[in-house]
Chains A and B, each alone.
Chain A
Amino acid sequence: MAKHLDIVELAPESLAEVNDTFSGQRKLVLVTDSGKGYVDLSDDEASVFPLYAVLDPVAAGDPQFWLIEAAAADEADGVRFEQLAQRILASSEDYLTCLRALRWATVHRSLNEQAALEAAREQAELIRRSRARMDGVLGRIAKGVA
């Protein structure tokens, strides 16, 4: 009997970290309304993917929780991270990129807005490359490779 691909359930509309199937890298994603799927890109063509247990999905908290964590370590840091969050959210980046930037900043204890946004953009780019590889596999026969 084949091994079963279990699907885990997380809080609907929460944030989670999972492995990207094609790259193996961790990524911050948004859990869907069902709690059993996620989206990882903020574009109109984003697909919902199942939250497979083998991808090691872990609840990632939320921006408020990250800021409380920062404040718990150092109250002044908490204020500075809150200001950083406001600057990131005021940028022209999409919602997921803003979240990833703030997540990166709080995990790395960095107040460098540009570095945080750059790390977030890199994660989005990695996901887009994985998606392009996936679509490339799906589209290859149409071009006569097989």
Chain B
Amino acid sequence: MNDKGGSMSADVVQVGISTGILARFAELLDKHLAAQRVDRADVLRARAAGRIALEHAVLQTALEVNQPPEAVAATLEQASVEHQSMLVEQGRAAIHRLYGVSPDILVGALAGRASDVSGLVVGPLGGPLSTLVLGARLMVDQLASPGGGSARNGPVKVALVARMAFVHAAIDAGVARGKLAPAQADSLRDSFDAAVFSPGAGSGHQRRGALYSSTMAEVRTVTQSKTVQAIGAQVDAELASYAQDRVSYERMR
């Protein structure tokens, strides 16, 4: 990741981040399922869930910004072409007006709603969740460093908020589905936040505290938005509905 004005443009970094959230969601579930040696049908269901969540995000964005879905899909893949960059910016502005956050954060929250929290949690902050902690913590280290001031409104901050929104939304969805007790969820959220934002030896307590406050304010904006909750509930219903849906196998032969 590069937010210091190197050869990679801000657009390219942002698009990489937005696509990455969903990718990580699918990858983590795949890994978890594979590790548990569940049968292949479950792995395929996890992959299908990632595809459904991605398609929903593309179509919802297309609907909101009044653009063809294929144009939105193209912007997810590459923003280096000039006209696609323009579409990306138009789409971002429209999403920001509607939700008060960037599309990256919105997609992170929706992907979290669609995820199975049991796929993230293997013991207290173990398993894939520890990978999420590590990545987020590296971002916090960068943003809270003495020279990190200019990055605090840049793509790394957006990526951090998106990741936090993903985890918080996944935990909320776990409670809603009865997989986590509210007390367990509170404990998990607190552990995750502390692991991401706690300072290392003698480094930047004040900057980390300020970063935590501003990050969580944005996370709450998106996870507590009634609009996002409504969309999340729709994605939930779709995932549940299509998990068992099929065409009779014999008809495909």
Does B207 have its Cβ within 8 Å of any Cβ on chain A?
A: no
Q: CB distance A48 to B77 under 8 Å?
A: no
Looking at the assembled complex, report how far the CB atom of B36 sits from the nearest CB atom of chain A, in whole angstroms: 19
Q: In the complex, A4 Cα to B27 Cα: how many Å?
A: 28
What's the dominant secondary structure at chain B's contact region? helix
| Chain A residues positioned under 8 Å from B19 (CB to CB) | 137-138, 140-141, 145-146
Does A13 have its Cβ within 8 Å of any Cβ on chain B?
A: yes
Does B164 have its Cβ within 8 Å of any Cβ on chain A?
A: no
Looking at the assembled complex, report how far the CB atom of B26 sits from the nearest CB atom of chain A, in whole angstroms: 5
Interface centre among A45, A133, A146 (most CB of B within 10 A): A146
| Chain B residues positioned under 8 Å from A54 (CB to CB) | 59, 62-63, 69
Mark contacts of B16-48 with chain A using CB atoms, 8 A cut-off: 1 yes-contact digit, 0 otherwise.
110111111011000000000000000010011
Mark contacts of A122-146 with chain B using CB atoms, 8 A cut-off: 1 yes-contact digit, 0 otherwise.
0000000001011111111110011
Q: Looking at the complex, which of B171-179, B185-193, B214-222, B227-235 is the stretch in contact with chain A?
A: B227-235
Q: CB distance A22 to B70 under 8 Å?
A: yes
- CB-CB under 8 A for A33 and B246, given A47-B48, A141-B27: yes
Q: CB distance B245 to A22 under 8 Å?
A: no
Looking at the assembled complex, report how far the CB atom of B240 sits from the nearest CB atom of chain A, in whole angstroms: 11
Closest to A146 in B: B20
Other-chain residue from B13, B23, B159, B241 in contact with A140 (beta carbon distance below 8 A): B23
Q: Looking at the complex, which of A36-44, A76-84, A102-110 is the stretch in contact with chain B?
A: A36-44
- CB-CB under 8 A for A142 and B24, given A33-B247, A50-B238: yes
Looking at the assembled complex, report how far the CB atom of A80 sits from the nearest CB atom of chain B, in whole angstroms: 27
Interface size class of B (residues with CB under 8 A): 35 or more
| Chain A residues positioned under 8 Å from B63 (CB to CB) | 2-3, 5, 54
Looking at the assembled complex, report how far the CB atom of B99 sits from the nearest CB atom of chain A, in whole angstroms: 8
Q: In the complex, A49 Cα to B51 Cα: how many Å?
A: 8
Q: CB distance A49 to B20 under 8 Å?
A: no
| Chain B residues positioned under 8 Å from A20 (CB to CB) | 70
Looking at the assembled complex, report how far the CB atom of A134 sits from the nearest CB atom of chain B, in whole angstroms: 6
Q: In the complex, A82 Cα to B251 Cα: how many Å?
A: 20
The 3 closest A-B pairs by CB, nearest first: A141-B20, A146-B20, A24-B70
Residues of B within 8 A of A (CB): 1, 13, 16-17, 19-24, 26-27, 44, 47-48, 50-52, 54-56, 58-60, 62-64, 68-70, 73, 76-77, 98, 159, 226-227, 230-231, 234, 238, 241-242, 245-248, 251-253
Given A3-B60, A133-B73, A138-B23, list of 16 further CB < 8 A pairs?
A: A3-B64, A21-B73, A24-B68, A24-B69, A30-B247, A34-B241, A34-B245, A36-B245, A48-B242, A49-B52, A50-B56, A54-B62, A54-B69, A94-B253, A95-B251, A139-B27
